[in-house]
Structure 1
Amino acid sequence: MGVPSVLPLPAAASDQAGCPPRRPWGHLLLLCTALLFLAPAAGTPGLQKAVVSLQPPWLQVFPEDNVTLSCQGARSPGDNSTQWFHDGTAIPSQVQPSYSFKASSNHSGDYRCQTGQTSLSDPVHLDVTSAWLLLQTPRLLVPQGAPIVLRCHSWKNWRLYKIQFFQDGKPKWFSYTNASFSIPHANASHSGAYHCSGLLGQMQHTSQPVNITVPGTPENRERGETLPEEPASIADADTAAKAEVENTITYSLLLHPEAPEDDTAPSDYQNM
């Protein structure tokens, strides 16, 4: 009786000879499936962007002004965690939807945020500037038809009067006491560099210019179009009525403000 030249190996021996154990492959399959489910939360392009908002809404502030940044966007139930970034660097100490601070020069820069259910927000640029006067606005790029809102802000909120607003060096609006000014429906002719001036005590001061852009063709700019401007909506009714009367003042008075001065700045004004 001959002996077979090839003998079949037992099934157990075959598993041990060259085939990997089945359990690790099963675990790998489960791991891959889990990663597929987790991937959208990590940053799918279809996710809605988070939005950074400011309170107060001004992009330009003085040192010591209070600023609150808020991150708006979808969140998982029970999860309010938020990632904050300053000039591209994460702020690990800030994980709440709101981020408040007293402004200093170190706070100037771009701010972004992200929640668990949103992609990274567009940047919001905050400018912290030391000066006597500051022209403030909530946005630098204004869609056509939207309002342009400006505020002439004085250092330490000292009383400011005989206030003028300028566009590209040309006077646009004057008031004795109202430091807010708005253009209700902006068009491309309202693009330009805006600044303000006013009296603090007996001294005249002027802000640095702020460039505001309204996309479109400035076809009305060459017509010398004048603006029947209204005070910003943040002014109350009495101030709005006063501003309407003040608009009737001739420009010669603006050039020669000879009205009696009965107000002075705080005693440390000259020392500064």
Structure 2
Amino acid sequence: MKKKQYIPPSFRAAIRPAVTFSPNYKKILTTETITMSCDGGSTIGGGPNYIWYKDNSPVHNGKSYIIQSAGTSDSGSYRCQTRPGEISDPARLDVSDGWVILQTPLYVYEGDEINIRCHQRLGYFGGRTRFYKDNRVIADWTYNAEYYIGNVDGTTAGTYRCGKQIPGQNIYYDEASVSVEGKSRISYIRIIWQHLYTDGVTLSPDRPSVIITLAE
């Protein structure tokens, strides 16, 4: 059976695009690779064209933007824009030339399960790791380089820090702040955009709301 679903005039705001990272960390080391994707966007004019901006300057066209062998100059605030003008919120990428970095997800939402990773430079063996939250030890010299947090809530927010032993060298530290947002809109964007795109629905200025048919 199929049912009709009404899409109100405010729908376009609900599918404003969003930037996602793969791997899903907002900090990486130099020489590493990251893929940025632009999820969502309206279908006005027959489908989106994508423009990427770094610190408000255009840098790439296409749904995905791949940075290979990243350098510190790739650090910055990234946005994607779809035709005819919807633009995402900024997504901050930091590229470090250090020995150890603490990696946290780009977005953290209530109800998520996340891993915080104490990551060392490629080619070097990482020894034991200690994790802190707000200056309190939460995992003491473990051989696991990741700290798992299940069912994220408001108490998850805070400043995290890790120390990692690099055999033959020193203990290196890094820290990162984690903020927790409400329910994720990324999955909602993907679901709605998929329905619009696969059903061939086009929004236009003289057609501010449409009916789409969804399989039940």
Q: TM-score, normalised by structure 1?
A: 0.56
User: Letter of the aligned partner of 1:213 in structure 2?
Assistant: S
Compared CA separation, residues 185 and 157, structure 1 to 2 (3 A): farther
Paired residues of 2:166 and 2:172 also in contact (CA < 8 A): no
Measured after TM superposition, the shift of residue 144 of structure 1 is 3.0
SS at match of 2:73: helix
User: Letter of the aligned partner of 1:134 in structure 2?
Assistant: I
Aligned residue in 1 for 2:72: 105
Of 103, 109, 112 in structure 2, the residue corresponding to residue 136 of structure 1 is 103
Of 166, 178, 183 in structure 1, the residue corresponding to residue 132 of structure 2 is 166
Of 199, 205, 211 in structure 1, the residue corresponding to residue 177 of structure 2 is 211
Aligned residue in 1 for 2:117: 151
Q: TM-score, normalised by structure 2?
A: 0.69
Q: Deviations over 1:148-181 (max 9, x none)?
A: 4200110125221211111112111145432111
Aligned residue in 1 for 2:149: 183
Provide the C-alpha distance between the structure 2 equivalents of 1:171 and 1:126, rounded to a whole number of angstroms. Answer: 27
User: Letter of the aligned partner of 1:97 in structure 2?
Assistant: K
SS at match of 1:185: coil
Compared CA separation, residues 118 and 49, structure 1 to 2 (3 A): farther
Compared CA separation, residues 188 and 108, structure 1 to 2 (3 A): same
Compared CA separation, residues 133 and 46, structure 1 to 2 (3 A): closer
Aligned residue in 2 for 1:193: 159
Aligned residue in 2 for 1:36: none
Give the number of aligned pairs. 170
Provide the C-alpha distance between the structure 1 equivalents of 2:181 and 2:84, rounded to a whole number of angstroms. Answer: 32
Question: Are 2:39 and 1:72 equivalent residues in the alignment?
Answer: yes
User: Letter of the aligned partner of 1:57 in structure 2?
Assistant: N
Provide the C-alpha distance between the structure 1 equivalents of 2:37 and 2:181, rounded to a whole number of angstroms. Answer: 27
Paired residues of 2:115 and 2:148 also in contact (CA < 8 A): yes
User: Letter of the aligned partner of 1:56 in structure 2?
Assistant: P
Measured after TM superposition, the shift of residue 68 of structure 1 is 1.0
Compared CA separation, residues 193 and 82, structure 1 to 2 (3 A): same
SS at match of 1:203: coil
SS at match of 1:156: coil
RMSD across aligned positions (CA): 2.6
Paired residues of 1:133 and 1:205 also in contact (CA < 8 A): no
Measured after TM superposition, the shift of residue 129 of structure 1 is 1.2
Measured after TM superposition, the shift of residue 90 of structure 1 is 1.5
Compared CA separation, residues 114 and 153, structure 1 to 2 (3 A): same
Provide the C-alpha distance between the structure 1 equivalents of 2:177 and 2:99, rounded to a whole number of angstroms. Answer: 19
Compared CA separation, residues 185 and 46, structure 1 to 2 (3 A): closer
Provide the C-alpha distance between the structure 1 equivalents of 2:180 and 2:14, rounded to a whole number of angstroms. Answer: 29
Higher RCO structure (Cα 8 Å, ≥6 apart): 2
Provide the C-alpha distance between the structure 2 equivalents of 1:59 and 1:46, rounded to a whole number of angstroms. Answer: 25
Stretches of structure 1 lacking an aligned partner (at least 5 in a row): 1-43, 217-272
Identity %: 27
Provide the C-alpha distance between the structure 2 equivalents of 1:210 and 1:187, rounded to a whole number of angstroms. Answer: 17
Of 83, 86, 90 in structure 2, the residue corresponding to residue 123 of structure 1 is 90
Q: Deviations over 1:188-245 (max 9, x none)?
A: 33322111112111334232211112369xxxxxxxxxxxxxxxxxxxxxxxxxxxxx
Aligned residue in 2 for 1:87: 55
Q: Deviations over 1:129-156 (max 9, x none)?
A: 12111000113x6333323420011012
Structure (1 or 2) with the larger CA radius of gyration: 1
Measured after TM superposition, the shift of residue 77 of structure 1 is 8.7
Provide the C-alpha distance between the structure 1 equivalents of 2:18 and 2:153, rounded to a whole number of angstroms. Answer: 25
